[in-house]
Amino acid sequence: MDIPKNIKERYEKLKAEIEEHNYRYYVLADPIISDQEYDKLFKELVELEKKYPELKTPDSPTQRIGGIVVEGFNKVNHSIPMLSLDNTYNEEEILDFHKRVLKNLNLTHVEYFCELKIDGVSVALRYTDGVLTQAITRGDGTTGEDITQNVKTIPSIPLRLRKNLSIEVRGEIYMPKKEFVRINSEREEKGLPVFANPRNATAGTLKLLDSKEVAKRKLSSFMYYVIFPQNYNLETQEEAINFLKEVGFRINPNYKKVEDIGQVIEFWKEWNRRRKELEYEVDGIVVKVNSFELQRVLGETARSPRWAIAFKFEAEQKETKLKAIKLQVGSTGIITPVAEFDPIQLEGTTVKRASLHNFDYIKERDIREGDYVLIEKAGGIIPQVIGPVKEKRTGEEKIIQPPEKCPVCGGKVGKIKSSEVAIRCLNPSCPEKLLRTLENFVSRDAMNIQGLGPKLLKRMVDAGLVKDVADLYYLNDQKIRSLGEGIGDKTVENILTQIEQSKNRELYRLINALGIPNVGLKTAKDLANHFKNLDSLIDAKFDELVEIEGIGEDIANAIIKFFSQEEVKKIVKKLKDAGVNMGKKEEEKSEGPLKGLVICQTGALSKMTRQEFAEYVESKGGTFSENVTKKTNILVVGENPGSKLDKAQSYGITIMSEEEFFDKYGES
């Protein structure tokens, strides 16, 4: 399709405008437009690329959204080794470093450049003519992994530089403290192991195969190193930092050029005191000889540079006595052990409780009731029991055993899947579990029943009005009024109206609302799209479930086990009898050249993301499938295809390249 000149010009202008605003926001911290104005520009760019997919370029800001799924990470050799830093932990050791530098240079004075040591994951970024072409992990220092698609989702990393440079830079990708807390809370609710610290969370995120999932975790970055700085007429680290900012990278503003080692120590003391002010985790400072020429003279060992060292902070830990273990039951029945100990002051707050996460965590660390334990804040935020002070044991400490029954209802407990660390209450009618299940059932992403908050739900449970989620649909005026104080005409009318409206919600909401272990919103949507009605899902066999992309053996087994429970069967029947929608609301398919055809994709397409391709197929009347089955009509093959190609060939499915597909089915 010929694209009008004015459209092309508008597209290029939009890209430039958005990148300028990104630079002002992430690098200069000086935005000049509101979030709403930015969103409006971004939306216009997305719409143009949808209408004219051939406009899209690799440096488009829309490429940050993610959506490319890879089946592994390719190995890439570093242009020069990515070395580690030697560590020092006290003033005596940093003075020894200073003496070695002076001796090796045969000087009496040297200028240092001090930066904060971000506790994240090192990355090398390569740009060709100003466009990001490759992002590589540290790996073993000689060879790393290509994580380009994941790195493209990080807003602070420019897809296009402000100058058309071919350059390699290095820096650190990190997870902000608040995001670390959010993700760990989410993982704990799902029965998944929590991340020990933001660095581990960052590393785990960058290893995800689906860049759209990476984009959901709000990673950020700071760059601090230019490969071959002489190519850009840079003579010092101070000049390199200013250069990085000038060409579009986010740099950490908390740096200082100092004239002697005493000022290095003062810088360390200042940030050791102030580090909790930061929105990211730091574990020390990095001290570098400022001059690149002097760095060259000093050289490197096989492992680390002689011209730089990490001056680490000491993690604040406090000792206290673990008095008791309390067990909490969550919405999916997960039983979480919580340590209660003598109150301590830790980094400015009083701490007297900390989650022990799961019983594997307790066993691995040999934590016992009555132990003296060390407490620190993971990521500087969440109190965490590091381990026991074994030399203080008296022999009266008690080994902590996993519960044999639910601490609330006395019901059976167990694990949903073998790889899961969480122990759960398996009784669907457990009062505590019921309350959490009800909260999930009425939530916005589930049945979206407004007006039924936690306090009101608890009153209903305590009064015996609601013994399972289906009982909500059998509430009436009299039952609700029986709750007494605070329940007026308007409240009753609102609750009953909301409950009635929820009967016709989408199928995926119902699936999400039921509280199937390990089934969240995305999986619920995938199940609804595949099975079309709840009965088909309930009757699904293992082989059919695992064919759905994103559903592995453990999730399939959890679904089958969930619907095999007699209590669940009764709840589903009650919901059905109450008139709750059990089927997918089918939208009438568009007429088009793909009507009646099931299309699947493998590998990355050049014109659009996977999600955009799915929408394109639907707009042409077809059905987009995430996985290859015998019902698939066409497999479209992009760059770096995966195992779907072999599967399609074995089924005799039509295989087309991206070009062939759009030549035949694209707009003229």
- Known binding-site residue numbers for NAD(+): 35-39, 84-85, 115, 138, 172, 288, 312
| 395 φ/ψ sector (left φ>0, alpha ψ -120 to 50, else beta) | left
State how far the Cα of 160 lies from the Cα of 132, in Å rounded to an integer.
6
- Which amino acid does the sequence have at 273? R
Q: What φ, ψ does residue 252 adopt, rounded to 5°?
A: -75, 125
Strands ordered across the beta sheet of 318-329: 349-355, 335-346, 318-329, 372-378, 382-388
Count of residues in the chain: 668
The two tokens of residue 508 are: 């995926």
Q: What φ, ψ does residue 173 adopt, rounded to 5°?
A: -100, 135
- Which amino acid does the sequence have at 554? D
Q: How many CB atoms lie within 10 A of CB 73?
A: 19
Paired strand residues for 623: 598
Q: Cβ(647)–Cβ(602) under 8 Å?
A: no
State how far the Cα of 64 lies from the Cα of 25, in Å rounded to an integer.
16
Cα→Cα distances 474→340, 388, 479, 569, Å? 41, 51, 9, 17
Rounded to the nearest 10 degrees, what angle do helices 261-274 and 91-105 cross at?
150
Please enumerate in sequence order all residues whose Cβ is within 8 A of that of 153, keeping only pairs 6 or more positions apart, or say none: 64, 65, 66, 211, 212, 214, 215, 219
Q: Cβ(177)–Cβ(143) under 8 Å?
A: no
Read off the DSSP letter of residue 666: S
**Can you list the pairs that 565-574 forms with residues at least 24 positions away whose Cβ atoms lie under 8 Å?**
565/428, 567/427, 567/428, 567/429, 567/468, 568/428, 568/514, 570/468, 571/428, 571/468, 571/469, 571/470, 571/514, 572/470, 572/534, 572/538, 574/468, 574/470, 574/471, 574/473, 574/474
Residues marked as binding? Answer: 35-39, 84-85, 115, 138, 172, 288, 312, 406, 409, 425, 430
Q: How far is CA 414 from the centre of its chain?
A: 28
Residue 539's Cβ-side half-sphere holds a number of Cα atoms within 13 Å equal to 6
Residues marked as binding for Zn(2+)? Answer: 406, 409, 425, 430
Instruction: Check if 177 is active-site.
Output: no
Residue from 357, 351, 358 nearest 322 by CA:
351
Read off the DSSP letter of residue 27: I
Question: Which one of 56, 117, 433, 647 is the catalytic residue?
Answer: 117
Which are the catalytic amino acids?
117
